[in-house]
Structures are given as C-alpha cells and as structure tokens.
Homo-oligomer: A and B are copies of this chain.
Amino acid sequence: MSKKLRTPREALAKMDNGATVMIGGFLCVGTPETLIEEVLRKDTKDLTLIGNDTGFPDRGIGRLIVAKRAKKVLASHVGTNPETGRQMHAGETEVVLVPQGTLAEQVRAGGAGLGGVLTPTGVGTIVEEGKQKITVNGREFLLEVALQADYALIKAHKADELGNLVYRRATRNFNPLMAMAAKTVVAEVEEIVPVGELDPDEIITPGLFVTYLVKRGKKDE
C-alpha cells in the first residue's frame, strides 16, 4: 500500500482559507473533480485559484466559482463559465486574464526555481500593463514572473506507490507543471500500481513532487 495514499479529507485537511491553489485541467479534461468536491465540502474560502480556465458552472473549477470560494482567479479563459464573468464585472471576484502560454511558463518557472521568463506574447497589448519590458537582441519581451502555490490539485491517469505519475492523452495539460510549483501536491488518480510497474522512461511526473495520492471518486465516510 502506498505511504502517500490519503482520503480526500486527509489530503486537504490543512488547506486554510486564503490559500493559493493551482488546479489542473483544460475545460475540465484532466481536472481533479474528487478534490474539488472536497474543497467544496470543507467550506474553504477566500482562495486564490490558478488554472487554465474556470470550467463550467457545474464542473471543474467552475463549481468553486459558483460557490464563491475564490477571492482571486488567474486563468487564460473564462468564457465557458458565465458566472466568472458576472463576478468579475460586479467586482465580487478579482479575475486576472493571462495568455495561456505565459501561464504555463509562469507555473513552470515557479517549479523550476526561476524568477521568471521573457516572452514576446502580449507586447503591444493591455497584457503589458505594469510589467517590465526587456529588449534582447533588438526584440522586446515582457518579464513574466514565476508563480507558486500552497496547493496543487492535479489529476493523473496512473500512479505507482511512490507517486510517480503518468497522464493520458489531452488530460496532461497543466498538471505536470503545477506538480512542480506548490508546497503540497495532491494527485487524484484512476489507479495505483506497485513500485516498478512503470518504466522509468514513461514517467512524466517523478514521485518526488507528489505529497499525497487520492483515488478518483473515493469518498470519505
């Protein structure tokens, strides 16, 4: 049995109000719904949420938005969840829109110990507001700083007992990046296999990044 295996309740027991939480997935493909369910249950609020999008009102990060658990959201797209737009316009929730490739690099930088990256994306648009512009070899770039979080809630296909993870198809997206960038990383998985069953070359997220494993669909009593 994996030493990292927890129930959802155990895994998120120490998540406090006001925490910064990264959540994997792309329009709910590769989103840890069981962990989101637990955040809803335990009534954690004032969260800063970081994710590609805000899902749908009844799925993914969208459920946390509808339940008003976020004080701030960083995402590249909120169009599939009208409630996010409503809260943004009403001034109820701060929404920061970030180009998708920039968000990916910011999260990766946070995990990789980099202070940030220089990207050409957003130059000449409102995205550049308040950011440092740096010229390298005659081309202008925006300095986009690293992002880190208290928690990363991610979804993987399979784990071994050490927490090594593999992903399936389009569910990978932000999950391996977020796995690097948070103090506590909880991976929701379909299946846990014995150590040695995954080939070292096929592992995408080494287990050293993973704090806890939770089985998808597992409920606490």
Name A's B-contacting residues (CB within 8 A). 105, 109, 112-120, 132, 134, 136-137, 139, 141, 143, 145-146, 166-169, 172, 200-202
Contacts and interface: CB of A to CB of B under 8 A. Distances in A.
Nearest to A145: B136
A139 to B, nearest CB: 7
A169 B199 CA distance: 10
A169 B117 contact: no
A121 to B, nearest CB: 8
Contact of A141 (B115, B139, B201): B115
Given A169-B201, A200-B169, A201-B167, A136 B113 contact: no
Nearest to A157: B201
Contacts of A105: 112, 114
Contacts of A146: 136
Can you tell how many copies of this chain the complex includes? 2
A134 B114 CA distance: 12
Given A136-B145, A201-B166, A201-B169, A117 B116 contact: yes
B120 A117 contact: no
Nearest to A144: B114
A105 B119 CA distance: 14
Given A114-B119, A167-B201, 9 more contacts: A113-B120, A114-B141, A115-B119, A115-B141, A116-B118, A118-B143, A137-B145, A168-B201, A201-B202
Given A167-B201, A169-B200, A169-B201, A136 B118 contact: no
Which of A116, A118, A168 has the most B CB atoms < 10 Å from its CB? A118
Contact of A139 (B109, B115, B120, B169): B115
Which of A116, A146, A167 has the most B CB atoms < 10 Å from its CB? A116
A143 B137 CA distance: 13
Nearest to A104: B112
A167 B199 CA distance: 12
Contacts of A143: 118, 134
